[in-house]
Structure 1
Amino acid sequence: MDIDALLITHCAPTLARLKIGSLLCFHNLEEAEDFQDTIEKYNRKYNSKGLYFRILFACPKRTLLYVYRPGSVRAYMMQRSVLCFLKQYGYTADMSLDDMLTLLEKRFDEACCFPHEAGLFLGYPVEDVYGFIHHKGSHAKLCGEWKVYGNPQKAARLFNTFTRCRKYYSNRYSVGIKLEELIIA
C-alpha cells in the first residue's frame, strides 16, 4: 500500500495548510499492527512540519486515519460557535486537543457510525454540520467536499481551491517530488 500516494490524493489540502484535517478510510487492513507502526513512523518524520497522524477508529472492516494540523484544529475548536456546538457532545473548553480526540474516538466506538461532530475536526463550517443533522442529510444547497447548508458560494470557491491543490500535488508527486517536499511546515 502506497500511503504517500493516498495522502497526496486525499489529503493534499491538509498537507498544503489549506485545511485543518483530513480523514482517510482504509478497508480491511490485514496487518493492523504494521499499520500502527507505519503511523508512528509518519508522526516521527512529519510532526516537526506540524502534520500529525492518528487512528480514530479501527475494526475488522475499516480503519479511519485522521491527518491533521493540531494548532489549526485547536484554534478552530476554540471558536465560540464551534465550542458551543461541541458542548452538546461532551466537549469542553478546558479539554486539550488530545482529550478532544480521545472523546471523538469514543464517539466513533459508541455510535458505530460517523459522529456528526467529526466534520468540525475536518474544518467544516458549524452551520453545515448543524444543517446536515437538522435536515438529516437532505436539502443541501451544494454537495462537494461536504454537504453545504450555509454559504454555497464560499464553499464552492473552497472546493475549487481544494481540487486545484490536489491536482497540483498529484502532478508534482507523479514527476518524482517526494511527500516530505510537498508538506508545508
Structure 2
Amino acid sequence: MQMTCEKFESVMGYHCSPVLMGMKPANLVSFSKEKMPELPEIISDYEESLEREGIRMEIICGCRKHYLLLVYRPDMLQEYLKQDEVRKLLLQDGYNIDSSLDEMIARLKERFFHKTEFPHEIGLFLGYPIEDVKGFRKFGGSGCKMCGYWKVYDDVEQARRIFDSYDKCREFTAAQIRAGYSILQVVGMKHLCTSQMCV
C-alpha cells in the first residue's frame, strides 16, 4: 500500500499542482483501475487532511478501465461558476444554476455516467477561460490558436503566461515530492511556490 500511496502522491503532484498550490480551481486526473484498483480507499485516507487545506477529491467517473478524479478547491470553483457567462453555458447543458456546488458536481457525474457524448462543460469545472470553452464547443476542438493545458481560441498571450506559471508550479511540486516531502507538506508550501516561482 505504501508504494501505491507514493504513486498516488507522485501523480497528484504532477497533474494537480496548480490546484494544490491554490492557482486553479480544479484538475481532472485519470487513474488506471488495473494499476491502482484501491484508489477509493486511498482517497478516503487523504480526504480529511486535504479538506482541511481547502481541497476536495471526487471520483466523477469509474468506467471499466479508468477512474476520473476531480481534485478541486470548492471556494475557488464556486466563485468561477458564479460568473454570468459560465452560468449561461451551464444552463444550456441542463444544470440548475441555483443549485449548490455539490449538486452541480453530482450533475456532472451523472452526465459522465450517461455519456452519450463527452460533457464538454468539464472545461468550466476546470476553470478554463470562458472564451476558450466556447471556442472548443463551437469548433469541436479543431482550429485552436495554441494547445497546452487546454485548447486556446482567444487570448494566446494570456494563456501562454498561465501555461508558463503552471509549468513552474509543476516543477516546484515535483521537486518537493522527489525530495521526500508528502503531498500534504507540499500543499503547506504553496506560499513559497506562488511568491517565488509561479507568479
TM-score exceeds 0.5? yes
Q: For the Cα contact (< 8 Å) 2:32–2:66, is it kept in 1?
A: yes
- Partners in 2 of 1:41 and 1:114 — Cα distance? 30
Other-structure match for 1:55: 59
SS at match of 1:57: strand
Letter of the structure 1 residue corresponding to residue 20 of structure 2 = L
Are 2:130 and 1:126 equivalent residues in the alignment? Answer: yes
160-169 or 21-30, which deviates more: 21-30
Counterpart among 97, 100, 111 of residue 101 in structure 2: 97
Write out aligned runs for 1:4-43 (5 A): 4-29=9-34, 32=37, 34-43=38-47
Q: How many residues align?
A: 184
SS at match of 2:60: strand
**What is the aligned-residue RMSD (CA, Å)?**
1.5
TM-score where L is the length of structure 1: 0.94
- Partners in 2 of 1:28 and 1:39 — Cα distance? 14
SS at match of 1:54: strand
In structure 2, the CA distance between the partners of 1:6 and 1:29, relative to structure 1 (3 Å rule), is same
| Structure 2 unaligned residues grouped into runs of 5+ | 191-199
| Structure 1 unaligned residues grouped into runs of 5+ | none
- Partners in 2 of 1:151 and 1:20 — Cα distance? 20
Identity %: 35
Residues 50-109 of structure 1, C-alpha deviation per residue, up to 9 Å, x if partnerless?
010000000111110010001111111111110111100111331100000000001111
Deviation at 1:129, TM superposition (A): 1.0
